[in-house]
Amino acid sequence: MKTALTLIAAVGFSGSLFAMDISPYKVGEKLNAEQAKEMEKRFKERQVQDWQVPKAADIDKEPNAKEIRYGIQLLDKTVETVGPKVANPNLRYSGNSLNCTSCHIKGSDGLPGTMPFGIPFVNVMNDYPNFRKRSMTIGSPEDRVNGCMTRSQGGGKAMPNDSTEMKAIIAYFTWLSKGTNPHDAMQYTGLPNVDLPNRAADPKAGKSLYTEHCVACHQANGQGLKTATYGKDGSYTFPPLAGNDSFNNGAGMSRIITATKFIHANMPLGATYKSPVLSVGQAYDIAAYVESLPRATHPDRAKDFPNPNFRPADYPVPAYFNGDKAALEKAKYGPFDSKK
């Protein structure tokens, strides 16, 4: 096993002592199916450490506190900092009106990505680099950020790894990993596994449930609630779930299983994985309704997941199915394996 310090030299993490062991591979390296399976196995079999988040009050004790706080700003106020309407065109990285915290939920401390099972950032520097199915390559934390910039953040553009903005985000991720065990997984990261209903999701039922539980914040047809300054900065009080201001159809949240887990564990506002408001079945149908709404198309979507054996079951790309309408419909709404 390589040491963390050796890994830093190998993959270019400046100043970070956190990284998953990816030896003998390098960031960007393309893997064959056998190598990919080995990496997936290695990722799943890591030791799992307890959930932990540094205290927000301790940020100012860090020598790079200003950089960390800029990273927090970028993640929490994405639209106003690097959105498509910011004054400096060179900073227009994000392509829509979502903040990173629209999906990476803030915890009780108000820090981005610190909610258990709210797609947290707390262990990112231990989870990466790792194998990414979408490209069949070894990806870095920077790749994860830029995947969001061009998908979850609409048709945005990638941040250069050496940009002030990327360095600030990585500085925040690194600070979040302070005191953790390098290479290890962490409890409550990602999204919770759920028992999916043994049926297709129902977008019509989902629309009724959406009207009951979601419309007050996300508004009719998922259009979101705009701020008074929307015309100037494109910001929303509550984020849109459809249209050009929301995530495109190449984003992880465009997949119904992912959306079901997120909704069940985090929505409506105030729900947690310990105290969910919606059943898995209700979240499943709401997810089907949300995914049925119009949104921007990712231009390279058909190139995603080049190896069919590593494709998610809930990614309805027509090119994958060679005209098989039933298979495409199943990828949209299921039924899927009961446990995912």
Residue 324: the pLDDT is: 97
Q: How would DSSP label each residue in 282-330?
A: HHHHHHHHHHHS-BPPPTTGGGSS-SGGG--TT---GGGTTT-HHHHHH
Distance CA 187, CA 243 (A): 34
Residue 208: the pLDDT is: 98
> What are the structure tokens assigned to 282, written together?
């209700």
Residues contacting 25, CB < 8 A, separation 6+? 31, 35, 39, 138
Distance CA 261, CA 283 (A): 8
Distance CA 44, CA 47 (A): 9
Show pLDDT as tens, one digit a residue, over the chain (340 residues): 333 333 333 333 433 467 888 999 999 999 999 999 999 999 999 999 999 999 999 999 999 999 999 999 999 999 999 999 999 999 999 999 999 999 999 999 999 999 999 999 999 999 999 999 999 999 999 999 999 999 999 989 999 999 999 999 999 999 999 999 999 999 999 999 999 999 999 999 999 999 999 999 999 999 999 999 999 999 999 999 999 999 999 999 999 999 999 999 999 999 999 999 999 999 999 999 999 999 999 999 999 999 999 999 999 999 999 999 999 999 999 999 865 5
Residue 340: the pLDDT is: 52
Distance CA 59, CA 55 (A): 7
Reported as type and span, the H/E element at residue 261 is helix 256-266
What is the per-residue burial (b if ≥16 Cβ within 10 Å, else e) of 266-295?
Answer: bbbeebebeebbbebbbbbbbbbbbbbbeb
Residue 337: the pLDDT is: 82
CA–CA distance from 23 to each of 2, 35, 184, 224 (Å)?
A: 7, 11, 15, 44
Residues contacting 50, CB < 8 A, separation 6+? 186, 187
Fold category of 203-333 in CATH:
Cytochrome Bc1 Complex; Chain D, domain 2 (1.10.760)
Residue 5: the pLDDT is: 34
**Could you state, in order of their start, the residue ranges of all structural domains in the chain?**
4-186, 203-333
Is it true that 4-186 and 203-333 share their CATH fold? Answer: yes
Domain 4-186 architecture: Orthogonal Bundle (1.10)
Are 7 and 22 contacting, i.e. CB atoms less than 8 angstroms apart? yes
Residue 212: the pLDDT is: 98
Distance CA 329, CA 217 (A): 29
Residue 13: the pLDDT is: 40
Angle at 266 between CA 262 and CA 270, to 5 degrees: 165
- pTM (2 d.p.): 0.93
